[in-house]
Structure 1
Amino acid sequence: MFAFELLKMGPKISIVTICYNSQDYIEDAINSIISQDYNNKEFVIVDGCSTDNTLQIIEKYKNQIDIVISEPDKGISDAFNKGINVSTGDIIGLINSDDLLCEGALKKLAQHYRPGVDVFRGNSIFWNDKSGFQGRDIPTMHFPVVPYKLHICHQSTFIRKDAYKKYGNYLLDFKYMMDLELLRRFSRLGANFEYIDADLAVFRLGGVSQESEGKKWEERKKVILLNGGNNFHVLLFKCYLLFRQGLKKLATLFGEDFRLRFITQKV
């Protein structure tokens, strides 16, 4: 009976949005979620005690948001985990406050949903809202010990609630590379990944993930060492990153959008 009802209604999809002082973009994110043409969804917002107008904007939409948590947290990973833990959906997506769900994304996800799959990964659209640039990022489906050429596509990744219970949540000591660590860990432990050939989310450029490489290196190193790698793997990856950073600096001389054209597909 339950399987029949799930097939009829589609899986329950929980969307978690974390925010802190996000008044400039949170309303766009909210509207992209509540406007989805899919009924069996749940919307959770986890706020870190914002001091700007974020909570007032959230209040405007309170009748269309299922759960709102506003309390201090220990960082992004902690906020993600709070949202995951209170979510009741079969599958959970994390849409940050400055990002967007694409139109019809949840319906496309539901059409591909199968209970045996742990992680569903679709395309993300990189969007520079200042220049208007858009590029399609195709997600990486395999996460080796040395994470070369990875496309995380965090916003367009949806994970079964049961998979979080089996393989674990985000690690609190990661401030930048928590999504890479989680996906590498899931892959190492045997989680089943499936690709959805559709644009599911928009990644607005300029957030935390755009901060300097120096702040993220130690966490990348830790990802390798925690998930089956050794110091030789760390050295290989360091050499790769130095080479990549050199190319990035060269390409960026012609503008950030110029560089992005080489790592994304034309929309």
Structure 2
Amino acid sequence: MKKPDFYPAMSRNSEKNVDGLKTSDLTLNLVEGGLRLQGAGKESLPKMPLISVITVVYNGVGYIDETILSVINQSYKNIEYIIIDGGSDDGTVERIRKYNDYIDYWISESDSGMYDALVKGFTLVNGEIVCYLNAGDYYHHNALAVVAEIFDSYDVEWLAGMRVNYNENSQVIHADLPSVYRKELVRAGVYGKFLPYIQQESVFWRKSLLDLVDYAYLKKMKLAGDYYLWYCFAKSTDLNIVNSYLGGFKYHANQLSSSIEKYNDEKLLFVEGPRLYYFPLIMFEAVFWFFPVRLKVLFSKKYFIYSRERKMWIRG
């Protein structure tokens, strides 16, 4: 397979080593591998859209295995998995290398931060559906099967599942079904500030939505890059919700509580800010979050629930 011009790592001066991987000269400090370098390629199939999963990591040797295994062991098999490592020196690269024959493409080189790495991943995806999963977080075994069925069956561009949190022992410690995410409130920066956050680990979207994103702006961000994506997507489409556990966020001992304040400060650089007349709506939505699932589904057609009679996911 001819290597496309847009693979930045593949335009480097590199030599193939005995493992079938490519290692650049020491000045570039670049290592890459995966199925693409072996000539393999993937595409969407009838009833099986290709889902591209990106993982970005830097010195995550204690977390990366669990994340990788949650992707490559999915019950759904038409997956393109890309890992962008920021030049780890703690053994992370060696862990990634173990799964070389299960990862479509991975690269390890220095970068300017998480969202610089994520943008690199976005430029590499071929999938019809895109998502990203940070090292330490992981998907439910059947998550991508749910996602593929809904995107293939309905005119959906942007989808979120239940919000799930894990503790340091990978035990689920919280799960809830989100309320309706309103486009105007997403653009106003309300979620994560006045209303519960949109959980990135459970969000999936069509690749076409990335055309709305300014990559040059995104790659400079430090904390709120996920919300910048939601802000861009909300200019075009609604965020639908499926009543299913797809993925979750894992708490780590080195996470700082002050990061939430810094996260919201960074959001203020691009969101529109809540207008005065939004606050009654925000108050109503705050109460709506506590409604049982049946009432949420009754009040909105943005929900997908599973019909046991029809044996398929349907709009609520």
Matched, 1:199 2:199: no
Matched, 1:125 2:164: yes
1:7 is displaced (CA, Å) by 6.7
CA distance in 2, matches of 1:178, 1:208: 17
CA distance in 2, matches of 1:31, 1:131: 13
1:199 is displaced (CA, Å) by 0.5
- TM-score, structure 2 normalization: 0.65
Helix, strand or coil: the match of 2:268?
Answer: helix
Kept in 1: contact 2:189–2:267 (CA 8 A): no
Check 1:183–1:216 CA distance in 2 against 1; reply closer, same or farther (3 A cut): same
Matched, 1:218 2:265: yes
Aligned to 1:176: 223
- What are the Cα deviations for residues 163-185 of structure 1, in whole angstroms up to 9, with x where unaligned? 10244447133211111222123
Kept in 2: contact 1:105–1:200 (CA 8 A): yes
Q: Map of 1:158-169 to 2, 5 A cutoff?
A: 158-169=204-215
Helix, strand or coil: the match of 1:46?
Answer: strand
1:33 is displaced (CA, Å) by 0.6
Kept in 2: contact 1:102–1:200 (CA 8 A): yes
1:134 to 167, 170, 173: 173
Matched, 1:42 2:89: no
2:195 to 149, 154, 179: 149
Q: What is the identity, as a one-letter code, of the residue corresponding to 2:225?
A: M
1:82 to 116, 120, 123: 120
- How many aligned positions are there? 228
Q: Map of 1:18-57 to 2, 5 A cutoff?
A: 18-57=56-95
RMSD: 2.8
CA distance in 2, matches of 1:174, 1:219: 8
CA distance in 2, matches of 1:40, 1:130: 29
Q: What is the identity, as a one-letter code, of the residue corresponding to 1:141?
A: Y
Aligned to 1:65: 103
- What are the Cα deviations for residues 214-262 of structure 1, in whole angstroms up to 9, with x where unaligned? 43342132233xxx338x77xx9xxx9xxxxxxxxxxxxxxxxxxxxx9
Q: What is the identity, as a one-letter code, of the residue corresponding to 1:86?
A: L
Check 1:86–1:141 CA distance in 2 against 1; reply closer, same or farther (3 A cut): same
1:157 is displaced (CA, Å) by 0.4
Q: Map of 1:7-26 to 2, 5 A cutoff?
A: 8-26=46-64
Check 1:142–1:204 CA distance in 2 against 1; reply closer, same or farther (3 A cut): same
Q: Which sits farther off after the overlay, 89-98 or 67-76?
A: 67-76
Q: Which sits farther off after the overlay, 129-138 or 23-32?
A: 129-138
CA distance in 2, matches of 1:22, 1:124: 23
- TM-score, structure 1 normalization: 0.76
Q: Map of 1:217-236 to 2, 5 A cutoff?
A: 217-224=264-271, 228-229=272-273
Aligned to 2:232: 185
Kept in 2: contact 1:180–1:223 (CA 8 A): no
Q: Which sits farther off after the overlay, 215-224 or 65-74?
A: 215-224
1:81 is displaced (CA, Å) by 1.1
CA distance in 2, matches of 1:141, 1:102: 23
CA distance in 2, matches of 1:73, 1:22: 15
1:162 is displaced (CA, Å) by 1.0
Aligned to 2:309: none
Q: Which sits farther off after the overlay, 24-33 or 174-183?
A: 174-183
- What are the Cα deviations for residues 65-120 of structure 1, in whole angstroms up to 9, with x where unaligned? 00002111121111111111101100111111110011100101111114742211
- Rg (Cα) greater in structure: 2
CA distance in 2, matches of 1:116, 1:209: 39
Q: Identify the structure with bigger relative contact order (alpha carbons < 8 Å, sequence gap 6+).
A: 1
